[in-house]
Structure 1
């Protein structure tokens, strides 16, 4: 990036800090009895396109899409009727609801569009064991799609809180503190593919964490993917400045005034715009009973009309 490039602070509803959301009521949408009934009906209907069965929720989805794409970039829905549906019905209704916001895309090399987020009681011995399969903390990051949705089926015995932060506010703070490192974030960095690559493909790809999309900076950030790339001898070596830039983003996002905390209850659906929000998960402790362990259902959605993150990952992980 040329030294003479001038960056300006972002000014939009996507720029926010903790003081803008003093309590959970400012981001929570409680589903009404009629809306819950629509979800139950859709789950049990014999229809090729169950989303047609959401006459009330369809207009509400338009409001949520406006918030996600043009507003603060996140919403929490409370009251998805997990208590009235069996496991298959929950998945069917959740997919139908998500499909009104975008197209579900693959989250792994097997082509799964619904991922069960829970501790699988396996050790993360190398980067091919993705962090969501453990109880470990996940630092601030984005996912490989325009939108990510998480439906809580069972909460943890302790911990597991979700922290979210405005990537635009972090951009502005990096610009204020270290404009030189902002330019570093616009330069390509190597990313580990975590064993998801096709046969013959390199085990890493290169992408700048910051890209201008639709006239605005968009931060695509998974720092451990970038650091893990260094296990591959042919991957470009990270410079001291690149390490420093990654650490600065993490430092700012973890400062208390830059993020808000969400505590999931069963039936909560968190929806985030990956181009506007960084999210983190705290480590957690599970109930000894495997049937009572923390359990979320994840959807990745591509919003065709409003691209939020850069390729190659906004359309999910290609099926192999």
Structure 2
């Protein structure tokens, strides 16, 4: 029988379960009128020195960074003044606000640092169609950066709730249930590049879902990228144990004990540390009119203070 390394359960503020958050007030930050005004001012100060923006919010950002990097790993800002701004001003203010927590990085091969998350009335018929462009459910996963932020501009008619779970708590539960599969997660697996590879690169890369960064286990996980890699004949074949390990992560995260639910309202900004949090989105129904559909603005941020995700994806998708 193979000998496995002796691994201890994680013990930090990043380890939590649903029972630790009896209501949403524990993770919700209400923006004050003064803070909302600073965001409006920043939107209208195109070309201004970023260091002179947000005099009040800047100190609050230090508190948020501590929560994201040394605390539970997530928070929800409520009250972003999207109703006082034009579409361009919303994007400008949102980028400026995010830049206080990290550096915005590319989310696709075109180099876009803002992604519009809404149902484009397409089906994911192959892996080159990214799941966020549909209204399908997205199971628990991380994004390709240290931090991810989602600004809600409009909500769905029904559904679309966000579920989040502590990756450290899931790590501990895998260790308790199947320590053999924890070791499987520390071994490289193939990941599909979804057609976004640069010319000459293979259509997949290899990365272990679990990596120790600064002595702390970090879970970088997008199961459909791993499973989709099997469409490439040259990619290594997933073993039975690897399939079991992926299924166990999803099973644990989807158990009610291990996740909390957030229901976005327009003006909410959810911010997650990808090295500490897995997130999922429920399927939803929406308006036929594009302008009335559920609409989120997504930011990926690389943050030296967080450095919570393994390479090569913590700094986003390299543009062409």
How many corresponding residue pairs?
319
Q: Which residue of 1 aligns with 2:15?
A: 15
Contact between 1:42 and 1:51, CA under 8 Å: does it hold in 2? no
Q: Which residue of 1 aligns with 2:93?
A: 93
**Deviation sequence 1:1-47 (CA, Å, 0-9, x none):** x7241010000000000000011111100000000000000100143
TM-score between the two structures when normalised by the length of structure 1: 0.98
Task: Report the Cα distance in structure 1 between the residues aligned to 2:316 and 2:14, rounded to whole angstroms.
Answer: 23
Show structure 1 runs of 4+ deviating over 2 A. 46-52
Q: Which residue of 2 aligns with 1:191?
A: 191
Moved more, 2-11 or 60-69: 2-11
Question: Which aligned pairs between 1:1-320 and structure 2 lie closer than 5 A?
Answer: 3-50=3-50, 52-320=52-320
Displacement of 1:304: 1.6
Q: Which runs of 5+ in 1 are unaligned?
A: none
Displacement of 1:51: 5.2
Displacement of 1:297: 0.1
Contact between 1:51 and 1:96, CA under 8 Å: does it hold in 2? no
Task: Report the Cα distance in structure 1 between the residues aligned to 2:124 and 2:314, rounded to whole angstroms.
Answer: 25
**Deviation sequence 1:170-201 (CA, Å, 0-9, x none):** 00000000000000000000000000100110
Contact between 1:230 and 1:237, CA under 8 Å: does it hold in 2? yes
Contact between 2:107 and 2:115, CA under 8 Å: does it hold in 1? yes
Please give the secondary structure, in 2, of the residue aligned with 1:163: strand
Task: Report the Cα distance in structure 2 between the residues aligned to 1:89 and 1:46, rounded to whole angstroms.
Answer: 9
Please give the secondary structure, in 2, of the residue aligned with 1:260: strand
Please give the secondary structure, in 1, of the residue aligned with 2:61: helix
Please give the secondary structure, in 2, of the residue aligned with 1:3: coil
Task: Report the Cα distance in structure 1 between the residues aligned to 2:24 and 2:109, rounded to whole angstroms.
Answer: 36
Task: Report the Cα distance in structure 1 between the residues aligned to 2:164 and 2:292, rounded to whole angstroms.
Answer: 25
